């Protein structure tokens, strides 16, 4: 089976402190993989390395067979990698629809067009609305982001990633800070993402995360401690030691 993501012997240090210390993992196409690990395990760093926001010190990263270890974030997006951020990174003064349009433009050749008004592209705005509808935000499409609730901003993060029709989706704690009802909404949104989209998710909420993922990789101090199915992970003594402090 072809791999959506292949990482081998990846290393990254910050000022002599290894954040990622020889990580290897492979995610099959269409797989839902959960990345677990305590704070500082290197999960977000791993995402930043995959998308090219950080340069690895060593090792290889392949996305759909293409080497991206020396790549740029914009090229990575064009390979079909979408991501959401743990710390919400939106355009607060723009409307929800404008945020999604920026995401749509990012993977469209139209982004280089300096000669026509953005408002004169109705198809873009229609597509933006359709994506917002998928995450249940169509009603507030013309509201500025800063006037929306936190849970809606989390869903907008997902909408911007989905707008780009990614083949590999990196979700960095999509449930962080959400209420019980909002979690259910988010679960429904993620559950509706087509099967062929490969997803790699960082999440601490065990209940939603474990119901989401088929396989789980546990990171600790920049190293893969264990990888396996849900049952294997829960039964693993190292995981219990790290995660539950037993």
Partner 1 sequence: MKLGAPVFAVALLLVPLIPSPYYVNVASQILIAAVFASSLNLLVGYAGLTSLGHAAYLGVAAYAVAWLTTLGGLGHLAAALVALAVTTATAACFGVLALRGTGLAFLMITLALGQILWGVAYRWVSLTGGDNGITGLTRPRPFGFDLTSPGAFYYFTLAIAAPTVAAIALYVSSPLGAAVQGMRDQPRRMSALGHNVWMVRWLTFVFAGTGAGVAGILFVYYNQFIGPQTLNLTNSAEVLLMVISGGAGTVLGPIIGAATVVILKNVVSAYITRWVMLLGAVFVLIVVFMPDGLGPGLHRLWHTRSRSAS
Q: Which residues bind partner 1 (CB under 8 A)?
A: 51, 53, 72-74, 76-78, 83, 85, 89-93, 98, 101-103, 105-107, 110-119, 121, 160, 164
Please identify, using beta-carbon distances, which residue of 55 and 72 lies nearer to partner 1: 72
CB of 204 to partner 1, least distance (A): 22
Please identify, using beta-carbon distances, which residue of 64 and 91 lies nearer to partner 1: 91
Q: Exposed/middle/buried for 109, CB within 10 Å: 0-12, 13-18, 19+?
A: exposed
Please identify, using beta-carbon distances, which residue of 23 and 90 lies nearer to partner 1: 90
CB of 158 to partner 1, least distance (A): 14
Q: How many CA atoms lie within 13 A of 100 on its CB side?
A: 31
CB of 98 to partner 1, least distance (A): 8
CB of 8 to partner 1, least distance (A): 23
Please identify, using beta-carbon distances, which residue of 172 and 203 lies nearer to partner 1: 172
3-class SS at 146?
Answer: helix
CB of 20 to partner 1, least distance (A): 19
Strand positions, DSSP E, 48-161: 58-63, 66-67, 81-83
> Is the Cβ–Cβ distance between 24 and 37 less than 8 Å?
no
- Give the CA angle between residues 84, 232, 194 to the nearest 5°: 35
Strand partners, 62: 6, 67
Quote the radius of gyration of the chain (alpha carbons, Å): 18
């Amino acid at each position: 089976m072809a791999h959506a993501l292949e990482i081998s012997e990846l290393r990254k240090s910050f000022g002599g402190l290894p954040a990622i210390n020889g990580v290897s993992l492979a995610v099959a196409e269409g797989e839902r993989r959960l990345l677990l690990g305590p704070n500082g395990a290197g999960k977000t760093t791993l995402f930043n390395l995959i998308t090219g926001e950080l340069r690895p010190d060593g090792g290889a990263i392949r996305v759909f067979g293409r080497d991206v270890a020396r790549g740029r974030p914009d090229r990575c997006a064009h390979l079909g990698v979408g991501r959401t951020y743990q710390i919400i990174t939106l355009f607060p003064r723009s409307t929800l629809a404008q945020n999604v349009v920026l995401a749509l433009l990012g993977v469209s050749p139209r982004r280089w067009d300096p000669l026509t008004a953005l408002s004169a592209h109705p198809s873009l705005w229609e597509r933006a609305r359709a994506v917002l509808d998928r995450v249940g935000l169509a009603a507030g499409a013309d509201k500025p982001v800063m006037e929306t609730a936190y849970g809606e901003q989390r869903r907008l993060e997902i909408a911007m990633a989905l707008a780009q029709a990614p083949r590999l989706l990196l979700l960095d704690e999509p449930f962080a800070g959400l209420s019980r009802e909002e979690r259910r909404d988010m679960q429904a949104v993620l559950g509706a993402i087509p099967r062929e989209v490969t997803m790699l998710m960082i999440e601490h909420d065990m209940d939603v995360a474990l119901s989401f993922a088929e396989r789980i990789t546990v990171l600790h101090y920049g190293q893969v401690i264990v990888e396996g199915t849900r049952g294997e992970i829960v039964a693993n003594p190292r995981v219990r030691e790290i995660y539950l402090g037993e």
